[in-house]
Chains A and B, each alone.
Chain A
Amino acid sequence: MKKIKCECGHVNPEGTVLCEACGKPIEGNQHIDGNIKDSLLNMRYEGSARRSQTYNRSMVDKVWNFFSSVKVGVWLIIITLVASSLGTIFPQEMYIPPGADPVTFYEDQYGLAGKIYYQLGFHNLYSSLWFMMLIALIGVSLVICSIDRVVPLHRALKKQKPKRHHTFLKRQRVFGETKANVDMDAFKSNLQKHRYKVREQDGHILAEKGRFSRWGPYVNHIGLILFLLGALLRFLPSMYIDDFVWIREGETEVVPSTGGQYYVKNEDFILENYDPEKDKRFQEALMNQDVPVASNYQTNAVIYERTNNDVVGAEPELQELSREKIVVNEPAKFGGFALYQSSFQLDEFSSMSFTLHETGDESAVLGEFTVDLTQPKMEYKLDSGAKVVIDEYFPEYYMDGNQPRSKSKFPKNPAFVFYVYPPDGGEPEVSFAGIGMNIDPTNENDYKLSLKGFDTRDVTGLAVKKDYTLPFMAVGGLIFMIGVIQGMYWNHRRIWLQPTEDGVWIAGHTNKNWYGLKRDIEKSIQNTRIEMPEDQQQLKG
């Protein structure tokens, strides 16, 4: 590496624009920061030697230089911004109505635009490979940009000396000459009163405060990188689990994705609505709504742990861990897992009771039977000797043309095709029965099945989550906030003073908030006979 020795005696690394110690512009390197002769100096990164501005030969240099460019970073931000907005034109696939087929949904709903949207894959934009690549590129850019700048910047700020080259002072944005005998001690004590750290060298003064704010951008970038790494960890199943379980009231289910270690029982599912009579304050709003407004979804659950997990094939032995009221916003937590109230199904049928009697005479009863809808039996023998056989069971019955079918395996609208065998053992009759429906396909049946009663129960849907990436994200978010506050709410201000033959030169620099810097100077030159320096970069009025 070619070192550059400045006239002040300091040895700078290759590519330095302003001497780290005295700030003198180094000849031949001024083009790097676009400094023009006699104009104000570009003080970004203190004119330190950045790798990206120094080397451009090997492949590594070129990749490094590409990603360390703020211009590239800014373009990546803009592309991500535009891409993100595209994904909100139409709903993402996860937000289309359940059961809708995306192939037809987008075209049906939004016409040609919807079709193109779907074909471009924008219905799953945020999980698409190219979008993730974009985020990954931002991550790479963050790392390289930060390293490229933070190391030389740190060096330059550490090596800076109070005694600066006169051109450095003259070419600062805030600069002034005073031709008078000034009171240096008053100046120094004024600066210290405003919490400046004052250093002196041969009568030259450097007053500095808030240097730590210069690290803010790098701290917040570290936070962002941690956050993105956390997001990456979600692809590891041991770090992140997202599952779901439906549980009927009174039933106990194994919690999926826990390896059979945990069980959960749904004791009761509760849905509460606002009552316009009781909740007077909402009366007006509730009256304007056609549908009731829910106030609470709750599952009263019992969490069990299996104690004989090591015994393969044995009946699970369960030990009660806790009783929980799982409410939206208040998940149940156990063993690294969390159960969230996520969905529900009201009044699912649990059993149906039928009476068999002679057609046209409901008092001539041949017997009763109850079908457990979760485990219907093949046949039911009645007291009179009659027998009912289930031929077909439709848990959620609907007519598909003239063909009965079931929409799902959940008993939401159960219907049956029964074979009724008379007590004397003759030929069976066919009967079709469901909720509010009893069809005799031949119209010649001697016996009729009537629905006597049914039981319903609610089903709760609980989301099962385990997320060990959250701490990463939380720490990343925290570090980002610290960094961004550090960089934004404080600023790095420096004031230089240099004795001349007949007075002093004063100059000031800040990374932001020039108004604040000027007020600091104003206050610190009081009673010192130093004249207020001028802002050499006023925007033209």
Chain B
Amino acid sequence: MGDLVTISSNLLYASFFFYLIATFFFGGTIREKKTGNRGKASTIGISLTIAGFVTQLGYFFTRWVASQHAPVSNLFEFTTFFGMMLVMAFIIIYFIYRLDVIGLFALPVALLIIAYASMFPREISPLVPSLKSHWLYIHVTTAAVGEAILAISFVAGLIFLIRQIDQTKKSKHTFWLEFVIYSIFSTLGFIIMTTAFGAMDYQAQFQAPVEGQVVNVEYQMPAIVGPNAGELQTDGVMQPLLDAPEWMRGQDAARKLNTLIWSFLSGLVLYGIARLILRKRVAAALQPKLKKFNPDLIDEVSYRAVSIGFPVFTLGALIFAMIWAQEAWNRFWGWDPKEVWALITWLFYAFFLHLRLSRGWHGTKSAWLAVGGFAIIMFNLIAVNLVIAGLHSYA
């Protein structure tokens, strides 16, 4: 057993490096003058992507054998799977449209997602009774595939916005585009900070009152924000600069807030460095490199991804979810926060489709909607799991 688990996690590492190298090759395609004929870099890029995908499938199935249930049962497993499906969605779109630039943006997003997933506990976890059902992998995998295809629409939308938005003057568009880029930097910051302090084995213990009882709160990052009325127990570590506000409830609330602040600060540093080097908006620096791509086609990819992903998402995240909920909790719908946010995601893309089909929202407007849809998916994946506790709470 132990061996299989090791093999499995090594395969995951390997796929990570495949994706990373593939990204550089897709980056190389930008320099090629022509867009029509595929050059060498493109062929190598997609080959490496497929190799990475197959390797990651290896991770998935070896872990399945080791744990004896589909590895989609905790935040690490689900998020990793989501990253894998994002790569799969990209491969499909690549063979329809042959656009290297999608790979240049989709693979880094997948890399970030997989790295983000690895920040959470990676051990194989047992299934509680309500998760013991074939619907676990039917519902969860289909929902992840749907979300991954929808995520391609975000990738294409982002490329469209970087290419199209007028960078000669400051506007709401340039601001929000930089904000999206900053959010990506913050995710990177979170990964770097968690890994760095994890490698240092950083720990700080607090004793703080929670719900009238004094409990131990453990920090794995230096406390910028300590627990409300908490007392530091560990010697020789940083004293918190501030206390978490009193209205934040729960044992882990202050720790999560602290992690969030670290992510935002490190993201700000990374973004600041990028600005210092580039001496202009990050999107403005990227824009010239994307000029050779046809914006119409990018816009169409973004829409196409929604039209392919929306039915899959409906099936996985709503219909299969309802069938399982009927079996497990004897009600197919319970207004649990995760369910509600799946419905919100669905409503949002229904909104997207109606605006596009009936009201002719194309181009920039449509691209912003694709970005918004992805933000909702990420909110459901991250915030609803970690902040709004409910039946689906993994962490």
Interface contact B354-A484, CB-CB below 8 Å = no
Q: Which one of B296, B310, B327, B363 lies within 8 Å of A488 (CB-CB)? A: B310
Q: Are B126 and A286 in contact (CB under 8 A)?
A: yes
Given the interface pairs A70-B354, A293-B128, A331-B327, the reply to whether A85 lies near B311 with Cβ below 8 Å is: no
* Nearest chain B CB to A20 CB, angstrom units: 21
Nearest CB on B from A237, distance (A): 16
B140 to nearest A CB, angstroms? 15
- Looking at the complex, which one of B5, B249, B355 makes contact with A109 (CB distance below 8 Å)? B249
Q: Which of the candidate stretches B229-237, B255-263, B270-278, B314-322 sits at the interface with the other chain?
A: B314-322
Which residues of B, 296-331, contact A by the 8 Å Cβ criterion? 296-297, 299-300, 303-304, 307-308, 310-311, 314-315, 319, 322, 326-331
Residue B347 contacts which of A81, A217, A285, A489 (CB distance < 8 angstroms)? A81
Question: From B358, which residue of chain A is reached at the shortest CB distance?
Answer: A70
CB pair A92 B335 closer than 8 Å: yes
- Residue from B322, B330, B331, B384 whose CB has the most chain A CB atoms within 10 Å: B330
- In chain B, what residue has the closest Cβ to A341? B129
Which residues from chain B contact A484 at a C-beta distance below 8 Å? 310-311, 314
B7 proximal to A (CB < 8 A): no
Check A485–B304 contact: CB distance below 8 A: no
How far, in Å, is A325 (CB) from chain B's closest CB? 13
Using CB atoms, name the residue of chain A closest to B123: A284
Q: How far is the CA of A329 from the CA of B67 in the complex (A)?
A: 20
**Residues in chain A near residue B129, CB distance under 8 A:** 294-297, 327-329
- On chain B, the residues within 8 Å of A62 by CB distance are none
Q: How far is the CA of A91 from the CA of B132 in the complex (A)?
A: 26
Q: CB distance B124 to A281 under 8 Å? A: yes
Interface of B is mostly: helix
| With A88-B384, A110-B247, A514-B300 as contacts: A331 and B330 at CB distance below 8 Å | yes
Is A489 touching B311 in the complex (CB atoms < 8 A)? yes
Judged by a CB distance under 8 angstroms, whether B202 is at the interface is no
| Chain A interface main SS type | helix
In-complex Cβ contact of A480 among B314, B336, B351 (8 A): B314
Name the distance in Å between B316's Cβ and chain A's nearest Cβ: 11
Docked CA distance A327–B355 (Å): 46
Assuming the A-B contacts A111-B247, A285-B123, A285-B125, are A81 and B351 also in contact, with contact meaning beta carbons closer than 8 angstroms in the complex?
A: yes
Residue-wise interface mask of A (268-309) relative to B, using a CB-CB cutoff of 8 A (1 in contact, 0 not): 000000100001111011101000011111000000000000
- Docked-complex contact A74 and B355, CB < 8 angstroms: yes
Interface residues in B, total, Cβ within 8 A: 67
Q: Is B335's CB under 8 angstroms from A281's CB?
A: no
Q: Please report the C-alpha to C-alpha distance between residue A482 and residue B126 in the assembled complex, in whole angstroms.
A: 37
Judging by beta carbons under 8 Å apart, are B354 and A282 in contact?
no
Name the segment of A51-59, A403-411, A533-541 touching the other chain.
A533-541
B133 close to A (CB within 8 Å): yes
B343 contacts the other chain (CB 8 A):
yes
- For A281, A296, A488, A512, which residue has the most chain B Cβ atoms within 10 angstroms? A281
Name the A residues within 8 Å of B127 (CB-CB).
295
A113 proximity list for chain B (CB < 8 A): 247
Interface size in chain A (residues, C-beta < 8 A):
66
**CB <8 Å contact, A88 and B340:** yes
Q: Which residues of A contact B348 (CB under 8 A)?
A: 81
| Cα–Cα, bound, A109→B248 (Å) | 9
Q: Please, which residues of chain B bring their CB within 8 A of the CB of A84?
A: 340, 343-344, 347
B38 within 8 A of A: no
Q: How far is the CA of A295 from the CA of B131 in the complex (A)?
A: 10
Nearest CB in chain B: distance from A108 CB, A:
10
**Across-interface contacts of A88 in B (CB, < 8 A):** 337, 340-341, 384, 388
- Contacting residue for B340 out of A87, A281, A477, A489, CB 8 A: A87
At the interface, yes or no: B1 with Cβ under 8 Å from chain A? yes
Q: CB of A445 within 8 A of chain B?
A: no
Q: Using a CB-CB cutoff of 8 Å, which residues 240-290 of chain A contact chain B?
A: 242, 274, 279-282, 284-286, 288
Docked pose: A92 CA to B297 CA in angstroms: 44
Query: What residue in chain B is nearest A487 (Cβ atoms)?
Result: B307
A139 near B: Cβ within 8 Å? no
Contacts of A470 in B (CB 8 A): 326, 332
Contact B303 A329 (CB under 8 A): no
Give the residues in chain B near A2, CB-CB below 8 Å: none
The smallest beta-carbon distance between B389 and chain A, in angstroms, is 8
Fill in one digit per residue for B103-130: 1 if any A CB lies within 8 Å of its CB, else 0. 0000000000000000001011111111
Chain B residues closer than 8 Å to A477, beta-carbon distance: 319, 322
CB distance from A411 to the nearest CB of B (A): 26
Residue in A94, A111, A481 whose beta carbon sits within 8 Å of that of B314 in the complex: A481
Q: Is B126's CB under 8 angstroms from A279's CB?
A: yes
1/0 contact trace for B35-55 toward A, CB 8 Å? Answer: 000000000000000000000
Give the residue of A109, A217, A242, A274 whose beta carbon is less than 8 angstroms from that of B126.
A274
Verify if A176 is at the interface (C-beta below 8 Å from B).
no
Contact of B362 with A by CB under 8 A: yes
The yes or no answer to A338 lying at the interface (CB within 8 A) is yes
Give chain B residues whose Cβ lies under 8 Å from the Cβ of A109.
249
Q: Complex formed: what's the CA distance from A402 to B328 in Å?
A: 44
Interface residues of B in 13-70 (CB under 8 A from A): 66-68
In the complex, chain B residues 348-382 whose Cβ is within 8 Å of any chain A Cβ:
348, 350-351, 354-355, 357-359, 362-363
Residues of B within 8 A of A111 (CB): 247
Q: Looking at the complex, which one of A342, A485, A513, A538 makes contact with B330 (CB distance below 8 Å)? A: A342
Once the chains bind, are B295 and A513 in contact (CB under 8 Å)?
no
Query: Cα distance A92–B97 when bound, in Å?
Result: 45
What residues of A have a CB within 8 angstroms of the CB of B329 in the complex?
340
| Cβ-defined contact, A340 with B359, below 8 A | no
Other-chain residue from A281, A463, A512, A538 in contact with B296 (beta carbon distance below 8 A): A538
Check if B1 sits within 8 Å of A281, measured CB to CB.
yes
Instruction: Give the nearest-CB partner of B324 in chain A.
Output: A329
Interface check B390, CB cutoff 8 A = yes
Residues of B within 8 A of A158 (CB): none
Beta-carbon contact of A329 and B249 below 8 Å? no
A218 to chain B, nearest CB (A): 13
- Interchain nearest-CB distance for A252 vs B (Å): 22
Instruction: Identify the closest chain B residue to A463 (Cβ).
Output: B330
Residues of A contacting B303 with CB < 8 Å? 512
A212 at the binding interface (Cβ < 8 Å)? no
Asked if B330 and A126 sit within 8 Å, CB to CB, the answer is no
Determine if A77 and B124 form an interchain contact, defined as CB atoms under 8 angstroms apart: no
Does A293 contact B126, Cβ atoms closer than 8 Å?
A: yes
Are A281 and B311 in contact (CB-based, < 8 A)?
Answer: no
CA separation between A295 and B68, bound complex, in Å?
A: 14
The smallest C-beta distance from B380 to any residue of chain A, in angstroms, reads 10
In the complex, 6 of the A-B residue pairs with CB atoms within 8 angstroms, ordered by the A residue number, are A74-B359, A80-B347, A281-B68, A340-B330, A477-B322, A485-B311
Extra pairs beyond A109-B249, A113-B247 (7, CB < 8 Å): A70-B359, A73-B354, A285-B125, A288-B123, A473-B322, A485-B311, A488-B311
Using CB atoms and an 8 Å cutoff, list the residues of chain A in contact with chain B.
Answer: 44, 70-71, 73-74, 77-78, 80-81, 84-85, 87-88, 91-92, 94-95, 109-111, 113, 126, 217, 242, 274, 279-282, 284-286, 288, 293-297, 327-331, 338, 340, 342, 463, 465, 470, 473, 477, 480-481, 484-485, 488-489, 511-515, 535, 538-539, 541
The 5 closest A-B pairs by CB, nearest first: A284-B123, A340-B330, A328-B129, A285-B125, A70-B358
